[in-house]
Chains A and B, each alone.
Chain A
Amino acid sequence: MKEVIHTPVPDIEEEEYHINMGPQHPSTHGVLRLVVSLQGEIVKSLKPHCGYIHRGIEKMCEKDTYPQIIHLTDRMDYLSAHINNHAVCLLVENALQVEVPERVKYIRTIIDELTRIQSHQLWWACYGMDLGGLTCFFYGLRDREHILDIFEESFGSRLLHSYYTPGGLMQDIHPNFQKRVKEFIKYFQKKIKDYDRILTGNVIMTERTRGIGILSKEDAINYAVTGPSGRASGFSCDVRKHYPYSVYDKVEFREVLFTEGDTLHRYYARMEEMRESMKIIEQLIDNIPEGEYSAKMKAVLKLPAGEYYQRVETARGELGAYCISDGNKTPFRLKFRSPNFSNLGVLDKISREHKIADLVAIGASLDFVIPDIDR
Chain B
Amino acid sequence: MGVTGKYFFSPGQIVTEQYPENRKTLKMAERFKGEVIMPHDENNQHRCTGCGICELNCPNGSIEIISTRIETPEGKKVRIIDKHIYHLSMCTFCGLCIKTCPSDSLAWGQEFEHAVFDRSKLTKVLNQPGSSIIKGIE
Q: Do A and B bind each other?
A: yes
Give the number of residues in B that approach A within 8 Å (Cβ atoms). 20
Q: Chain B, 1-38, contact with A by CB distance < 8 Å: what is the 0/1 string? A: 01110000000000100000000000011111100000
Once A and B bind, how many residue pairs between them come within 8 Å at the CB atom?
57
Contact of A165 with B by CB under 8 A = yes
In the complex, chain B residues whose CB is within 8 Å of the CB of A197: 2-3
Cα(A174)–Cα(B32), bound, Å: 12
Cα(A198)–Cα(B5), bound, Å: 11
Chain A positions 142-172 with a Cβ under 8 Å from a chain B Cβ: 142, 145, 149, 152-157, 160, 162, 165, 170-171
* 24 interchain pairs, CB-CB under 8 A: A64-B59, A67-B57, A68-B59, A68-B96, A70-B94, A71-B59, A71-B96, A72-B59, A142-B15, A152-B28, A152-B32, A153-B29, A153-B31, A154-B31, A156-B29, A156-B31, A156-B32, A156-B93, A157-B33, A170-B99, A171-B31, A171-B99, A197-B2, A299-B100
Q: Are B95 and A170 in contact (CB under 8 A)?
A: yes
Q: Chain B, 88-106, contact with A by CB distance < 8 Å: what is the 0/1 string? A: 0000111110011000000
Cα(A291)–Cα(B2), bound, Å: 48
Interface of chain A, main secondary structure: helix
Chain B min CB distance to A176 (Å):
10
Instruction: Pick from A157, A174, A197 the residue with the most CB of B within 10 Å.
Output: A157
Measured CB to CB, the nearest residue on chain B to A198 is: B3
Cα(A156)–Cα(B110), bound, Å: 10
Q: Are A145 and B15 in contact (CB under 8 A)?
A: yes
Q: Are A67 and B32 in contact (CB under 8 A)?
A: no
Contact of A218 with B by CB under 8 A = no
Q: Are A68 and B57 in contact (CB under 8 A)?
A: yes
| Chain B residues with a Cβ under 8 A of chain A | 2-4, 15, 28-33, 57, 59, 92-96, 99-100, 108
Cα(A157)–Cα(B108), bound, Å: 11
Contact of A183 with B by CB under 8 A = no
Contact of A135 with B by CB under 8 A = yes
Chain B min CB distance to A132 (Å):
14
Bin chain A's interface residue count.
20 to 34
Cα(A160)–Cα(B59), bound, Å: 15
In the complex, chain A residues whose CB is within 8 Å of the CB of B96: 67-68, 71, 162
In the complex, chain A residues whose CB is within 8 Å of the CB of B93: 71, 156-157, 160, 162
Cα(A65)–Cα(B96), bound, Å: 11
Q: Chain A, 56-86, contact with B by CB distance < 8 Å: what is the 0/1 string? A: 0000000011011011100000000000000
In the complex, chain A residues whose CB is within 8 Å of the CB of B100: 299
Cα(A194)–Cα(B129), bound, Å: 57
Leading 8 A-B pairs by shortest Cβ distance:
A71-B94, A68-B59, A156-B33, A156-B31, A162-B94, A153-B29, A152-B29, A198-B3
Measured CB to CB, the nearest residue on chain A to B17 is: A145
Instruction: Pick from A68, A165, A174 the residue with the most CB of B within 10 Å.
Output: A68
In the complex, chain A residues whose CB is within 8 Å of the CB of B32: 152, 156-157
In the complex, chain B residues whose CB is within 8 Å of the CB of A170: 95, 99
Q: Are B95 and A162 in contact (CB under 8 A)?
A: yes
Chain A min CB distance to B25 (Å):
16
Cα(A160)–Cα(B99), bound, Å: 17
Chain A min CB distance to B13 (Å):
9
Q: Chain A, 169-182, contact with B by CB distance < 8 Å: what is the 0/1 string? A: 01100100000000
Cα(A292)–Cα(B95), bound, Å: 19
Cα(A294)–Cα(B108), bound, Å: 20
Given contacts A64-B59, A174-B31, 11 further A-B contacts (CB under 8 A): A68-B94, A145-B15, A149-B29, A152-B31, A153-B31, A154-B31, A156-B93, A157-B32, A162-B92, A162-B96, A170-B95
Measured CB to CB, the nearest residue on chain B to A138 is: B15
Instruction: Pick from B29, B30, B32, B99 the residue with the most CB of A within 10 Å.
Output: B29
In the complex, chain B residues whose CB is within 8 Å of the CB of A135: 4
Q: Are B94 and A156 in contact (CB under 8 A)?
A: no
